[in-house]
Structure 1
Amino acid sequence: MIKQKYVDAYIKDFETGKVLFNEERKQLIRYLKEDILTRDDLFFDDKMIEDCINFGEKWYFPLQPFQKFLIAFIFLFHKKNKKAFYRKFLWMLGRGGGKNGLISVVTHFLISELHGINEYSISIVANSEDQAKTSFDEVFNAIEFNPDVLKKAFINQKAKIEGRKTKAILKFRTSNGNTKDGLRDGAVVFDEIHQYLTNQDVKVHISGLGKRKNPREFYIGTDGYIREGFLDKLKDKAQKVLTGEARPNSIFPFVCKLDNEDEVFDPKNWEMSNPMLSEPRSEYAEVLYDAILEEFEDLEEDPSNREEFMTKRMNLPVEDLERSVATWEEILATNRPFPDISKSSCIGSLDYASIRDFAACGLLFRHDEDYVFKTHSFARKRFVDIYYGYSKTDDVIKKEKFAPIKEWEQEGLLTVVDEPSINPMHIVNWFVEMRKQYGVNKIIADNYKMDILRPLFEAEGFEIEIIRNPRAIHGLLAPRIESAFANHQIIFDNNPLMRWYTNNVLVRIKKDGNKEYLKKDEVRRKTDGFQSFVHAMYRADEIINVDYSEALDFLNAIDF
Structure 2
Amino acid sequence: MLLNENINGTHSWLIEYINRCKSGEIIIGYELMQELDVLLRHFNNPEITVDFTDAHKRIKFIETKCKHFEAPFAGKPFILMLFQKAFIEAIYIFKIYDEEVGRLIRLYQDVLYLVSRKNGKTPLISAMCLAEFFCGPMGLRILCSSNDYEQADLMFQAINSMREESPGLEKVTRKNIKGVFFGNPKKPKKNGKFSYKNKGTIRKISAKTGAKEGRNIGVGAVDEVHEMKDDTSVMPIRQALSTQDEPLFFELTTEGVVNDGYLDNRLKEARQVLDGELERPRWLIWLHTQDNEQEIWQNEKSWHKSNPGLGVIKKWSFMRKMIEEAKNSKSKRVFVLSKDFNIKQNNAAAWLTPEDIENLETFDIEEFRNCFAIGGVDLSKTGDFCSARALLMKPGSDKKYFLQHYFIPEAKLNTLNREEERKYREWVRQGLITLSDGNENDFRHVTAWFVKLFKEYGIRFYKVGYDKWSAVYWRKEMEEYGFDTQKVDQNWGSMSEPMKLLEVDLKSNKVVYNNHPIDRLCLENTAMNVNTKEEIMPIKIQGKDDKKIDGAVTKMICYRVYIDNKIEFLELVKRTA
Q: Give the TM-score taking structure 2 as reference length.
A: 0.57
**Kept after mapping to 2: 8 A contact 1:111/1:162:** no
Q: Which has the larger radius of gyration?
A: 2
Distance 1:93 1:246 in 2: 23
Is the 2:290–2:305 contact (alpha carbons within 8 Å) kept by the matching residues of 1? yes
Deviation of residue 238 (structure 1)? 0.9
How far did residue 227 of structure 1 move?
1.7
* 1:276 aligned counterpart, secondary structure: coil
List per-residue Cα deviations over 1:469-526 (Å, max 9, x = no partner): 4999xxxxxxxxxxxxxxxxxxxxxxxxxxxxxxxxx998897687620253599986
Counterpart-to-counterpart distance in 1, 2:316 and 2:237: 36
Q: 1:399-428: CA deviations, max 9, x gaps?
A: xxxxxxxxxxxxxxxxxxxxxxxxxxxxxx
1:251, CA displacement in angstroms? 2.1
What's the counterpart of residue 121 of structure 2?
99
Q: Which residue of structure 2 lines up, in the alignment, with residue 481 of structure 1?
A: none
Is the 8 Å Cα contact of residues 119 and 308 (structure 2) preserved in structure 1?
yes
Query: Sequence identity, in percent?
Result: 20
Q: Which residue number corresponds to residue 187 of structure 1? A: 219
**Compared CA separation, residues 158 and 448, structure 1 to 2 (3 A):** same
Counterparts in 2 of 1:41 and 1:230: CA distance versus 1, 3 Å: same
Corresponding residue of 1:53: 59
Aligned positions of 1:153-232 closer than 5 A: 153-164=172-183, 165=193, 166-176=198-208, 178=210, 180=212, 183-232=215-264
Aligned residue in 2 for 1:311: 338
Select which of 313, 320, 323 maps to 2:351.
323
User: Mean Cα displacement is larger for which, 298-307 or 266-275?
Assistant: 298-307
SS at match of 1:211: coil
- Equivalent residues of 1:181, 1:205 under 8 A apart: no
Amino acid corresponding to residue 219 of structure 1 in structure 2: E
Where 1:69 maps in the other structure, the secondary structure is helix
Number of the residue aligned with 1:267 = 300
1:33 aligns with 2:40: yes
| 1:14 counterpart (21, 24, 47) | 21
Unmatched tracts of structure 2, length 5 or more: 67-77, 184-192, 354-378, 385-405, 428-499, 531-535, 549-577
2: CA distance between counterparts of 1:5 and 1:239?
27
Compared CA separation, residues 516 and 528, structure 1 to 2 (3 A): closer
Q: Which amino acid in structure 2 is aligned with residue 77 of structure 1?
A: K
Change in 2 beyond 3 A, CA 1:211/1:526: same
Aligned length: 375
SS in 2 for 1:275: coil
Measure the CA separation in 2 of the matches of 1:102 and 1:242.
Answer: 24
Matched, 1:78 2:110: no
Between 42-51 and 289-298, the greater mean CA deviation after superposition: 289-298
Counterpart in 2 of 1:331? none
Report the CA distance shift for 1:261/1:528 in structure 2 as closer, same or farther (over 3 A): closer
How far off is 1:270 after superposition?
1.1
Deviation at 1:141, TM superposition (A): 1.7
Secondary structure at 2:234 match in 1:
helix
- The amino acid of 2:141's aligned partner reads S
What is the root-mean-square deviation of aligned Cα atoms in Å?
3.9
2:152 alignment partner in structure 1:
132
The 3-state SS of whatever aligns with 1:531 is coil
> Paired residue for 1:294?
321
Moved more, 252-261 or 233-242: 252-261
Show CA shifts across 1:286-321 (max 9, x none): xx3332233334445656422211111111134697
* Amino acid paired to 2:279: R
Assess if the C-alpha contact under 8 Å between 2:218 and 2:247 holds in 1. yes
Aligned-partner Cα distance in 2 for 1:470–1:145 = 73
CA gap 1:179/1:136 in 2 versus in 1, 3 angstroms: closer
On the 8 A contact 1:299/1:305 being kept in 2, the answer is: yes
User: 1:212 aligns to what SS in structure 2?
Assistant: coil
CA distance in 2, matches of 1:51, 1:527: 54
Kept in 1, the 8 Å contact 2:211–2:237? The answer is: no
Aligned counterpart, 2:543: 530
Report the Cα offset of residue 71 of structure 1.
0.8
Cα distance, 1:448–1:188 mapped onto 2, change above 3 Å: farther
- CA shift, 1:100, in A, is 0.7
2:43 maps to amino acid = L
Report what 2:490 is aligned to.
none
- Measured against aligned partners, the alpha-carbon deviations of 1:431-481 in whole angstroms (never above 9, x if no partner) come to xxxxxxxxxxxxxxx995662795xx89xxx99963654999xxxxxxxxx
Residues of 2 paired with 1:137 and 1:65: CA distance? Answer: 25
Q: Answer yes or no: is the 8 Å Cα contact 1:121–1:186 preserved in 2.
A: yes
The equivalent residue for 1:543 is none
Cross-structure match for 1:493: none
CA change 1:208–1:301 in 2 (3 A) is: closer
Q: Decide whether the 8 Å contact of 2:13 with 2:86 is kept in 1.
A: yes
Superposed counterparts of 1:414-453, under 5 Å: 448=408, 451=411
Tell me the distance in 2 between the aligned counterparts of 1:30 and 1:203.
29
